Structure 1
Amino acid sequence: MHDSRSLPTFAAGAVDVPYVIQGMDELVSRDTVWEEHSHPTHELLWNLRGASSATTGSRTWTITPLVGLWVPAGVVHSGRMPAGTWYRAAQFGLHAAPPLAQEPVAVEITPLLALLLDRLDDGALPTASRTLTEQMVLDVLAPSPHELFVQRPRGDLLRPIATALTEDPADQRGLTDWAVLLDVSPRTITRAFRAETGLSFARWQAVLRAQRAILLLAQGIAVEQVAEQVGYRSASAFGAAFRRTTGTTPARYRPA
């Protein structure tokens, strides 16, 4: 069972807010699903603890303490959080905060950015200090080179592959196996994956596995167990694939 939350859908700028940046945080005690919604403000999502996901259109993004997600005002999105996730959200008023990007984009949560956003939570912060801190946040806010999202294929040909691997990332069927099952050539599947996701089948599968692995690692599951659950025969093979995909090691996503 999980909690389901519904929020309204707003167009960008539909509500005139008096702030530049306003934050909140919550520790969710149960698995929680946010139904599709949108905000009149830009939103930055990241976690203080745990890993979660957000979906915009056909893309599902991974959100962690290291990498957050910028969602422009008016963009419809939904989210999922396992129990125990401690998340933060900062709303950026359109009148004072230029959009970081026109589309959702990953944001690196550097120690400096986290410190500045924490400072804005101080209700006693003098106006001049708040204004300076907000300006610094806007200055250091930048897209991350390590964004991790899965582009879900939309076409009928790839749908059974995407469904099977999403349900079980450890599925060992390769390109040739799927070609036989779907009665097409491996080249046809390869072309379809590149056309719909921008990635090869192998690369798409590696990203999907890394995304699932991060969710498991954030729950404190041992690296060896995570490797097995996402389809690798050894922790070393998993570690190498994970580094190629994310640019860092699995250990960085385990609880401190």
Structure 2
Amino acid sequence: MSRTGHDLGHDPRHDLNFGPHTRPTTAIFVGDFAMPRGRAFRTHVHPVHQLAWAARGLLRVRAEQGTWMLPPSLALWIPAGLPHATEAEGDTVMRSPYVDPTHCPAERVWTEPTVLEVGPLPRALIDHLVRDDLTQEARARAEAVLLDVLRPVPVATVSVTEPSDPRALRVARALADAPADGRTLEEWGGEVGASARTLARLFTAETGLAFGQWRKRLRIRSAMPLLAEGLPVESVARRVGYASASSFVAAFHRIVGLTPRQYFPVREERE
């Protein structure tokens, strides 16, 4: 059970209604969840806005609009009523502010899932709002500042759709287990019983991406948990199939919108 009393086995879709556990004028309630690797909340909705943030570890959030991998430097604004699922990609502490729409300034509401920067000030404010000994006035001041300093960052989703055809699916899952595998579609075809042309058509039709583009996205997604653990970029690049750190960094920036070190700051605080 977390410090705030939320049982991780409980499906959160039925709570967070800003009932008796908060003061009537409270804009933000911070849920504090210890999430070991693989712990997940299946698809659910909240009647309030959520700022999905991991104080430690790596959090994956999935919605119809995409999939986001969130280190402590980033959070995802999830509008009230939007179905989503969360999962820990490693030992994670999710410290998630939930924002009452009736107390949120209109200019601070994003209607779509939006990645926000969590620098030292937002992080300190979230940690401050976890406390249950704040006066109503102190809490209101901290809530107002937190909402004021939230800033979007241009980060793309890292969704990787699996094909449904059994032959293409075998290839996709083998590559998910070993992203550095560099075999061509011709070589894969001999293993799964399909021509390279057939596999290429299946990947394009069923994932929306050509095979080469699909594999690049898979490699970037596979790299994120390794980067979150603090492994050197050069080592991560080799593990996911890149010949050099520079080619990996270029691919990461092209797909995600930030460099690996912008996404996973080296000096990030650890708890």
TM-score range, shorter chain: 0.7 to 0.9
Indicate the residue corresponding to 1:9 in structure 2. Answer: 13
Aligned-partner Cα distance in 2 for 1:21–1:251? 28
TM-score by length of 1: 0.76
SS at match of 1:114: helix
Post-superposition offset of 1:201: 5.1
Superposition map of 1:111-150 within 5 A: 111-150=120-159
Aligned-residue offset at 1:159: 6.1
User: Counterparts of 1:89 and 1:158 in 2: how far apart (Å)?
Assistant: 40
* Partner residue of 2:259 out of 244, 248, 254: 248
Mapping 1:1-256, distance limit 5 Å: 5-10=9-14, 15=17, 17=19, 18=24, 19-57=26-64, 59-97=66-104, 98=106, 100-150=109-159, 152=161, 160=169, 162-173=172-183, 181=195, 183-184=197-198, 192=205, 202-246=212-256, 247-250=258-261, 253=264
Question: Alpha-carbon deviations, 1:211-251, whole Å to 9, x = none?
Answer: 22121121233433322221112333323323333422348
Paired residues of 2:249 and 2:259 also in contact (CA < 8 A): no
What are the ranges of 5 or more consecutive residues in structure 1 without an aligned counterpart?
A: none
The answer to whether the 8 Å contact 2:186/2:196 transfers is no
- DSSP 3-state at the match of 1:9: helix
Q: SS in structure 1 opposite 2:77? A: strand
Shift of 1:108: 1.5
**Per-residue deviation, residues 173-195 of structure 1 (Å, max 9, x unmatched):** 45777897353496x578648xx
The one-letter code sitting in structure 2 at the alignment partner of 1:221 is L
Distance 2:151 2:40 in 1: 27
* Secondary structure in 1 matching 2:102: coil
Task: Name the CA distance, whole Å, in 1 between partners of 2:58 and 2:251.
Answer: 19
TM-score w.r.t. structure 2 length? 0.72
- Distance in structure 2 (CA, Å) of the matches to 1:5 and 1:181: 45
Paired residue total = 247
Aligned mates of 1:203, 1:139 — CA distance in 2? 38
| 1:58–1:117 CA distance, 2 compared to 1 (3 A) | closer
Q: Give the Cα–Cα distance (whole angstroms) in 2 for the partners of residues 158 and 182 of structure 1.
A: 11
User: Aligned-pair RMSD on alpha carbons?
Assistant: 3.5
Q: Which runs of 5+ in 2 are unaligned?
A: 1-7
Residues 48-87 of structure 1: CA deviation (Å, up to 9, x unaligned): 2221212113722101111111122222222221443222
Q: Aligned equivalents of 2:175 and 2:54: distance in 1?
A: 26
Secondary structure at 2:133 match in 1: coil
Question: Quick check: 1:242–1:250 contact (8 Å CA) kept in 2?
Answer: no
